[in-house]
Chain A
Amino acid sequence: MSLTDSDKALVKKVWAKIAPKADEIGADALGRMLYVYPQTRTYFAHWPDMSPGSAPVKNHGKTIMKAVGDAVSKIDDLVGGLSALSDLHAFKMRVDPGNFRVRAPYIQTILAHNLLVSLAVFFPADFTPEVHVTMDKFLGAVAAALSAKYR
């Protein structure tokens, strides 16, 4: 499932709309993920506080959204563009790649799903079925690119 030209155009349009709230969305999505999927907390045990709205969550939410924004700008070559990030997640942090995805076998949705929930919460009128499918595809492509260097 690859991104068509109209998918890419819509992703850029959506990104331009949500960019002013990117930090909030990132913090919201990450907070949701850590709360709703407690198994993801294993990667952040070094934080003093993992609760929604806490300082580490807000900071890391910003970092994540900066990377998503970067992915938008590199949408024509996500695998190449995200290669360094893939190395980092695969070799340094060793994050199970199932955590990036919208779908993982038998485990319901992780970071990408929570980004979609945050989008629906912050931009309900804009989160149309068309935007939903395109962002789902885009986040799936980002997850795949992040998983590319694992083995």
Chain B
Amino acid sequence: MVAWTDAERNAITSVFAKLNPDVVGPNALARCLIVYPWTQRYFSKFGNLYSAETILGNPMVAAHGKVVFGGLEMAVKNLDDIKKTFAPLSELHSEKLHVDPDNFRLLADCLTLVIAGQMGAAFTPEVQAAWQKFLAVVVSALCRQYY
């Protein structure tokens, strides 16, 4: 079980409250596909991904970014039981989608950088630490079923 301090819980929930689901998820996913182009292998059905512009304008990427954001929301609402909450998602990503789990870390990095850009100086080292701990727990939960 993950131990969250009160400060960490506050930081995570207050960061999350500031995030626009229509913007953050889509931007982070688009960045992931641009910065780590090998991740595009999982989105061959998404049509045009051949440049940063087309990725940023691709409606299927945007839609999926919102789905990813919804997953994060589920984690924030279940901070004390992320592992169990994410078990079905972990199985989906490993058994059905065959996603290399290292990609979860790449997407997590992109989320962090999008949020840092949005929050500016309010994204203090303390907030960054809490947020990255949260993402590490989410990533770990997503990786659990991969055996």
Q: Do A and B come from the same complex?
A: yes
Type the 1/0 row for A109-151, where 1 means its CB is closer than 8 Å to any CB of B.
Answer: 1000100110011001001011011001000000000000000
**Partner-binding segment picked from B17-25, B77-85, B106-114:** B106-114
Do B128 and A132 touch (CB < 8 A)? Answer: no
**Partner-binding segment picked from B1-9, B29-37, B42-50, B65-73:** B29-37
Type the 1/0 row for A82-97, where 1 means its CB is closer than 8 Å to any CB of B.
Answer: 0000000000000000
**Inside 8 A of B120's CB, which chain A residues have their CB?**
121, 124
Tell me how many residues of A have a C-beta within 8 Å of chain B.
21
**Partner-binding segment picked from A6-14, A15-23, A29-37, A72-80:** A29-37
Q: Decide if B52 is an interface residue (CB 8 Å cutoff).
A: yes
Name the residue on A nearest B105 (C-beta). Answer: A108
Residue with the greatest number of chain A CB neighbours at <10 A, chosen from B31, B125, B126, B136:
B125
Name the residue on A nearest B123 (C-beta). Answer: A121
CA of A132 to CA of B105, assembled, Å: 16
**Inside 8 A of A130's CB, which chain B residues have their CB?**
34, 52
CA of A36 to CA of B116, assembled, Å: 14
Name the residue on B nearest A31 (C-beta). Answer: B125
Do B105 and A52 touch (CB < 8 A)? Answer: no
Name the residue on A nearest B56 (C-beta). Answer: A129
Name the residue on A nearest B119 (C-beta). Answer: A121
Q: Decide if A62 is an interface residue (CB 8 Å cutoff).
A: no
B134 vs chain A, min Cβ distance (A): 12
Q: Decide if A103 is an interface residue (CB 8 Å cutoff).
A: yes
Type the 1/0 row for A49-72, where 1 means its CB is closer than 8 Å to any CB of B.
Answer: 000100000000000000000000
Do A124 and B118 touch (CB < 8 A)? Answer: yes
**Inside 8 A of B117's CB, which chain A residues have their CB?**
120-121, 124, 127
A40 vs chain B, min Cβ distance (A): 12
